[in-house]
Structure 1
Amino acid sequence: MQLHHLWLSEFRSYAEAEVELPGGLTAVLGQNGQGKSNLLEAVGYLATLRSFRGAPSEALVRVGADRAVVRGEVTTDGREHLVEAEIARTGRNRVLLDKQRLARQRDLLEAVRVTVFAPDDLELVKGGPALRRGFLDDLLVSLHPRHDAVRSDWERALKQRNALLKQIHGRPDESALVTLEVWDQKLAAAGDELARLRDGLAERLAPTIARAYRDVADDELDVGLRYTSAWRGPDGTGGLAAALLAARDDELRRGLTLVGPHRDDLELTLRGLPARTHASQGEQRSLALAMRLASHRALLETHGSPPVLLLDDVFSELDPNRSAALLRSLPEGQTLLSSAAGLPEGIAADLVLHVAAGGVSAG
């Protein structure tokens, strides 16, 4: 896919901005605090309807304005689309796809796809399991939007079961136990399927992440990736229904679901040791970037066209050798890259945008 035209109105630091984008590498340059990341954030919002920096919707609206608008013209798989997102400071947001109100967010994935690498991605390696589970789940939906139903079924069943466990905490009667068994069945069906999908995706990504790490770090290291579930056997067998039954007494006592995919992890290793605790920060940074590049390549393989790649301020987090290695290994397709330090020597961009004081200009 390719983003051809981007319009911003009252978004973050931009009162108004309009840019035309080529299909190759666009470098977004400027001093810190001028709005480079805001421009990439707007592109990411068109695809996901959320900030990749974790900001709430109201923070995306320029100070003093009631609402912001982000519009983009894209071509995906030979089809042209117009995506228009109106972000309200208060009240509901509005999204139009080809002038029609967006019925389901997953429909947007057919029109706009992005891969984002941002400085906070270091937490994919250093942080807790929830971030790595989210990485897998978001990629599953991007690869096949129908997987959103599996994730939704799991989250709904987990929420309802936890509410029931909290309600009957320590004093279950026969009626409550019958209802619990119903939710056990729903949770087990959704949980088994979600774990199966995550496990398969991790297995698919493992060699691609290892290769991407070699490209980015310019170093041959043993990179490992494995989806782990304490409630399944060592070989990935064993169903959630049996695990729930075994944990029932503890769960009734604590009023909480203690086993299932919400407790699983994506185990990352370097040289056979946990990357979270034994890798240097440079190695962790390279591994996080390799995870994003591997997801980008998986999307390319699945859809036949690469997403837009957004690289936000990557050079500030990589040494010169890793920066040069990254640019040499960029996958095909459209890339937007922000930098306060300019581009490494010998790297030419198809378009250079300069950002200063809430304005953007080509040159």
Structure 2
Amino acid sequence: MSETPDPRAASDAPSQRLTRLIARDFRNHADLDLAAETRFVALVGENGAGKTNVLEAISLFAPGRGLRRADFAAMARTGGPGGFAVSLTLERDGAEHRLGTGLEPPGPDGRASRLCRVDGGAAGSPVAFSEFLRVVWLTPDLDGLFRGPAGDRRRFLDRLVLAVDAGHGARVSALERALRSRNRLLDERPDDGRWLDAVEREVAELGVAVALARRETVERLDRLIGQTRDDAQPFPWASVRLEGDLDDLVAVWPAIEAEDRFRLGLRNGRHRDRAAGRTLTGPQTTDLVVRHGPKDVPAGTASTGEQKALLIGLVLAHARLVRVMSGIPPVILLDEVAAHLDPRRRAGLFEALDALPGQVWMTGADPDAFAQAGPRTQVLRIGG
């Protein structure tokens, strides 16, 4: 495994920022056109004005379904034509690029299709955007991450991996389909050994690929945090690791051997998995284990305020990792983050963001929440 470069070293990452965002019939925005002039962009307005919708529009240029994980049909404006369009202008090292995505209105068959475009040409999927843009985000939905179910942390983990490995989403989706096929075979045709062998071979190959991608990202992130940790910072550092049966396998065995052992475990566990109605081993049971570094306690046992600060520190560290691994400074989306911090941590947040090379888009109801960011912040008021 390759070493993680020192994140404090001089970077040759390109200088870039989003300079314009246009949204048509997206969520509550019939016709939105925003010009961004600075690295810090603060969107202010009353609750329900559509501030988070703007962040969601930007998040569509990352692999997946955006920061709300919503169906695309649900993003089309109520009362609109049934489709939507979002475009970004990206200024990168003196050149401009135009990225666009959206949903065509349903045709006669009632089906709508997603479109992706790069500099006027059609792109096959949002993965094409990763050549130009990486996006990370933090939303209030993540506040209960450390105390919530393992499934929430797995989704967060896969988002961390997606930001550095755009192909990870396709592998996870293919694995989910293969697992559904296996579960269905166990239920309907449990004695069909030939088909079960075939689908378990696919599950093993995809499962090990997913586990290895997760492991590489988490190990690099933990190492980067260790290189830059500072107990005096307002956002405590975290230690992160993976916990799961397949994660233990790929940590010890080469990929081919891990596949063979995982496949044998699936075969031996057919009766048990059929009784349970699901596959009980594999990457779908992985948990992301996070500890509060300075206190050396599980993150879930820390206070609510400590968990919030720990999560912010983890997301900021991930943004640094994205820049190191991809060479692209990520756009950072922060939804209602500053308003819930005390003045010391709020000032610390802006200082930490200023040390990162990427552009930052933030939301808040009160413009005073961004006063400590100073003149480096462009405040845009979003109306209903």
Show the counterpart of 2:291. 269
Show the counterpart of 2:196. 180
Given candidates 7, 16, 29, the residue that maps to 1:14 is: 29
Secondary structure in 1 matching 2:206: helix
How far off its partner does 1:106 sit? 1.3
Give the AA of the match of 2:288. Answer: L
CA distance in 2, matches of 1:353, 1:89: 33
Unmatched 5+ stretches in structure 2: 1-15, 107-111
| 2:278 equivalent to 1:253 | no
Show the counterpart of 1:40. 55
Secondary structure in 1 matching 2:144: helix
How far off its partner does 1:61 sit? 2.5
CA distance in 2, matches of 1:212, 1:115: 19
From the superposition, tell whether residues 194 and 15 of structure 1 become closer, same or farther in structure 2 (CA, over 3 Å).
closer
From the superposition, tell whether residues 186 and 140 of structure 1 become closer, same or farther in structure 2 (CA, over 3 Å).
same
| 2:218 equivalent to 1:202 | yes
How far off its partner does 1:326 sit? 0.9
Unmatched 5+ stretches in structure 1: 359-363
On the 8 A contact 2:212/2:250 being kept in 1, the answer is: no
From the superposition, tell whether residues 235 and 51 of structure 1 become closer, same or farther in structure 2 (CA, over 3 Å).
closer
Comparing 69-78 with 322-331, greater Cα deviation is found at: 69-78
Q: TM-score, normalised by structure 1?
A: 0.86
Count residues with an aligned counterpart.
351
Comparing 290-299 with 77-86, greater Cα deviation is found at: 77-86
CA distance in 1, matches of 2:234, 2:228: 9
Show the counterpart of 2:325. 302
On the 8 A contact 2:215/2:247 being kept in 1, the answer is: no
Give the AA of the match of 1:120. Answer: D
From the superposition, tell whether residues 309 and 213 of structure 1 become closer, same or farther in structure 2 (CA, over 3 Å).
farther
On the 8 A contact 2:197/2:267 being kept in 1, the answer is: no
| 2:341 equivalent to 1:318 | yes
Show the counterpart of 1:142. 163
Show the counterpart of 2:11. none
How far off its partner does 1:212 sit? 7.7
**In angstroms, what is the RMSD of aligned CA positions?**
2.8
Show the counterpart of 1:357. 383
From the superposition, tell whether residues 161 and 80 of structure 1 become closer, same or farther in structure 2 (CA, over 3 Å).
farther
CA distance in 1, matches of 2:159, 2:93: 21
CA distance in 2, matches of 1:224, 1:86: 38
CA distance in 2, matches of 1:2, 1:259: 43
Identity %: 30
On the 8 A contact 1:72/1:83 being kept in 2, the answer is: yes
How far off its partner does 1:306 sit? 0.5
CA distance in 2, matches of 1:132, 1:149: 19
Given candidates 336, 340, 347, the residue that maps to 2:365 is: 340
From the superposition, tell whether residues 79 and 164 of structure 1 become closer, same or farther in structure 2 (CA, over 3 Å).
farther
How far off its partner does 1:87 sit? 3.0
| 2:244 equivalent to 1:229 | yes
CA distance in 2, matches of 1:70, 1:81: 14
Q: TM-score, normalised by structure 2?
A: 0.81
